Amino acid sequence: MERDVQGGILIDTHCHLNDPSFEGSVGDVLSRARGKGVTACVVPAYDRASLPRTLELAGRYPKAVFPAFGIHPWYLDGGGLEDVEYYLKRPGTSAVGEIGLDLAQGMPAREVQEKALVAQLDMAANLGLPVIVHCRKAHGLLYDILTAYRGKMDVVLHSFSGSFEVMERFIDLGCYISFSGSVTRQGAKKYHRCAHQVPEGRLLLETDAPSIATQTTVASCVEPHHAVEVARKVAEVRGVPYDEVCRISTRNAARVFSIPAASGAP
């Protein structure tokens, strides 16, 4: 593939191009990304209204947007998840997500979150799809739940926020560790250690656009092209060339999310 940039191809494994703030600009955002070598984006739904928007985006940009469907713990309303299952069964679905646990204050009750997580993990196991997991202040509980699914699906811990010791336990369980803009921040020693130590075969990169600030860009202004900044920082902390991080992370992402190597055309 001919590009006007130096360096390798990247896949942003987690960005919310389905966020209303991107309405009307997704084409431009994707071409800016492509200009920097970010040729494919995994776009996870998060609430009920985002499910059809995500499907629509994937239909409009089939070679660049790879959809995931699920309800994020912040948006659980205690209702059924039949609509999620409907979208997951559509052809071209890349993953179940964004799902997970968030035990910070003010979140839906823990039982509601656990029930929805297990239901969506079961859907992934039944449909043979990987899962994209959000986890905040709940790594112990998440670990216990995931042990029952060991070997049944690929699990991606998105924008990983645990310690190195926690990361090691999840790696033993077979999980992938995805680094976001948090790792680019100068003082983020905990994340730097994880990015340095994560085994090659489990490393993924993402932006969580538009939300997670990088060292150079404030939250709400982040786009998939910032995956380049994430990859550069990961290369720096691992002490390897940028192209090497592109090669490793893109290979992992393509495998987990079934993204064809030739993706990226508009």
What are the backbone angles phi and psi of residue 217, rounded to the nearest 5°? -135, 135
Nearest distance in Å: CB 150, Zn ion = 24
Residue placing its CB nearer to Zn ion in the complex, 208 or 223: 208
* Helices 189-197/227-238 angle, 10° precision: 70
Minimum CB distance to Zn ion smaller for 170 or for 242:
170
CB of 19 to Zn ion, least distance (A): 9
Write down the least CB distance from residue 216 to Zn ion, Å: 20
In the complex, minimum distance from the CB of residue 107 to Zn ion, in angstroms, rounded to a whole number = 15
Residue whose CB is less far from Zn ion, 12 or 98: 98
Do 185 and 157 meet the contact criterion of CB atoms below 8 Å apart?
A: no
Q: Which two tokens stand for residue 226?
A: 């910032």
Q: What is the DSSP letter of 176?
A: E
Which lies closer to Zn ion via its Cβ, residue 15 or residue 231?
A: 15
Q: Which is nearer to Zn ion, 98 or 229 (CB)?
A: 98
Count how many residues are written for the chain.
Answer: 266
Tokens of 106: 């003010």
Binding site for Zn ion (CB under 5 A): 98, 208
Residue 176 C-beta: closest distance to Zn ion, Å: 15
Rounded Cα–Cα distance for residues 238 and 25 (Å): 34
- Nearer Cβ to Zn ion (179/242): 179
And the tokens for 78? 């205690």
Asked if residue 108 has a cis previous peptide bond (ω within 30° of 0), the answer is no
List, in order, residues 6 or more apart from 225 with CB less than 8 Å away: 29, 32, 33, 35, 36, 38
Give the shortest CB-16-to-Zn ion separation in angstroms: 6
- Per the structure block, which two tokens stand in for 29? 């955002």
